[in-house]
Amino acid sequence: MEVLTMKELLETGVHFGHRTRKWNPKMARYIFTERKGIHIIDLEQTVEMFKRAYFFVRDRVAQGAEVMFVGTKKQVQTTIAEEARRCGAHYVNRRWLGGTLTNFATIKKSIERMKELERMIEDGTLDHFPNKEANRLRRELAKLVRNLDGLRHLERVPDVIYVIDPDLEANAVHEANIMKIPVIAIVDTNCDPDPIDFPIPGNDDAIKATRLISSRIADAVLEGREGRQEMEEAAAPAEPEVETTTEAAPEAPPAEEVPPAEEVPTPEEAAIPVEEPLTTAVVADTDAPAAATTELEPEAPAVEEPAAAEAVDEEPQPVKEGPEDDHDNE
């Protein structure tokens, strides 16, 4: 995927340079032709050099670098602030304070002073001051916010600086060169490209042109931060996942059935005579309610003795004389 196309550059007018009488001879290698007294910039070189700058910013931000956007021209102030806030970078769009890079300790004190005054207004402390003193502090705060609002989160010297019109921001470029900070800049035909580490030949006056290039630099910052987050997540040791379900314990082998041991009566139990079950109804307890009755145990069936045993036990009966005996007697 192309980070910047020739069509986008032509539509936004990046190829228009300054008048020929205002040119810088050091920019001759980036000029394509001259038309109606205006230099035309070679956009093929612009595309290639922008790719170098884009990948450099992406890789440095992925390594943890901080980027600062610088542009104090009236037509680029809004663009610088919007794109820097979108990508979370620092910016200077009003006035470059001398020593912002080379004397950062003093700038840091001014940033802390700005934050202190803002806290005094928020918690109502400034309301207890005399009117004259309170107005003086408010004017001081307004001046600090105007110049340092884009640097309120800056904790150290930035690692990369992106500049629009390095000829106008000569102090910023000079301090960056002293601190050995890489500089990326849009250089027009009237600029000196020598102090710039990553020059991007193009129109630095048109609002659309500067917005296009600045937005792509902001995209490079965002892409680099995404890559850094992915690297941090990959480098972090993976925590072992805690298993929520407990493994089922192995089933124990079925125990062998032991036959019940014969109960051996104790001497006391042997001495007690075993009562035979009653064959008659059990009388209900007098203390129990009258309605409660006990069940009768079933009677044992009578055992029939053989007929021969009954004949033996019975006494012999006298024999009756039949009719034949009567006839003999006669």
pLDDT given for residue 127 in this prediction? 87
Residue 23 and residue 162 share a domain = yes
Confidence band (pLDDT; 50, 70, 90) for 73?
very high
pLDDT of residue 269: 53
- If asked whether residues 219 and 191 sit together in one domain, one would say yes
Are 218 and 89 spatial neighbours (Cβ–Cβ below 8 Å)?
Answer: yes
Considering the domain architecture, whether residues 140 and 56 belong to the same structural domain is answered as no
In this structure, the answer to whether residues 75 and 123 fall within a common structural domain is no
pLDDT at 304 over 70: no
Cβ neighbours of residue 39 under 8 Å, at least 6 residues apart? 17, 18, 19, 20, 23, 31, 33, 189
C-alpha closest to that of 180 among 165, 158, 200: 158
Residues 11 and 87 in one domain: yes
Phi, psi of 317, deg, nearest 5: -95, 145
Same domain, 87 and 191: yes
pLDDT (tens digit per residue) in 103-153: 999 999 999 999 999 999 999 888 899 999 999 999 999 999 999 999 999
Spell out the residues 6+ positions from residue 103 whose beta carbon is closer than 8 angstroms to its own: none
Query: Minimum mean pLDDT among 73-82, 89-98, 161-170, 239-248: which range?
Result: 239-248
Q: Clarify whether residues 231 and 118 are in a common domain.
A: no
Based on the domain organization, do 20 and 140 belong to the same domain?
no
Check residue 54 and give its pLDDT: 94
The number of CA neighbours under 13 Å toward the Cβ of 72 is 15
Q: Tally Cβ neighbours within 10 Å of residue 280.
A: 8
Which one has a higher pLDDT value, 162 or 282? Answer: 162
User: What is the gyration radius of the CA atoms in the chain, in angstroms?
Assistant: 56
Please state the three-class secondary structure of 242-294 as a single string.
CCCCCCCCCCCCCCCCCCCCCCCCCHHHHHCCCCCCCCCCCCCCCCCCCCCCC
Domain span at 177: 6-98+157-235
Write down the pTM of the prediction. Answer: 0.69
* CA 84 to each of CA 89, 179, 223, 275: distance values in angstroms, whole numbers, following the listed order: 5, 22, 14, 107
- 318: confidence class by pLDDT, cuts 50, 70, 90: very low
Domain match, 93 and 115 both: no
Judge if 151 and 161 occupy the same domain: no
Q: What span, in angstroms and rounded, lies between the C-alpha atoms of 204 and 75?
A: 10
179: in domain: yes
Please give the pLDDT value at position 263. 54
pLDDT at 287: 46
How many residues does this entry show for the chain?
Answer: 330
Does residue 269 belong to any structural domain of this protein? no
Q: What CATH number does the domain containing 149 carry?
A: 1.10.287.610
Residues 17 and 28 both lie in one domain = yes
Q: Give me the mean pLDDT over the 82-86 stretch.
A: 94
Residue 50's pLDDT is what?
Answer: 94
- Percent over 70 (pLDDT), the chain: 71
Q: Quick: pLDDT tens for 180-200.
A: 999 999 999 999 999 999 999
* Residue 150: Cβ within 10 Å count: 21
Instruction: Tell me the pLDDT tens digit for each residue of 246-285.
Output: 455 556 555 555 555 555 555 555 555 555 544 444 444 4
Amino acid at the residue 74: K
Average pLDDT over residues 79-85: 94
Q: 276 lies in a domain?
A: no
Q: Is residue 274 part of a domain?
A: no
Arithmetic mean of pLDDT over the chain: 80
Write down the pLDDT at residue 227. Answer: 85
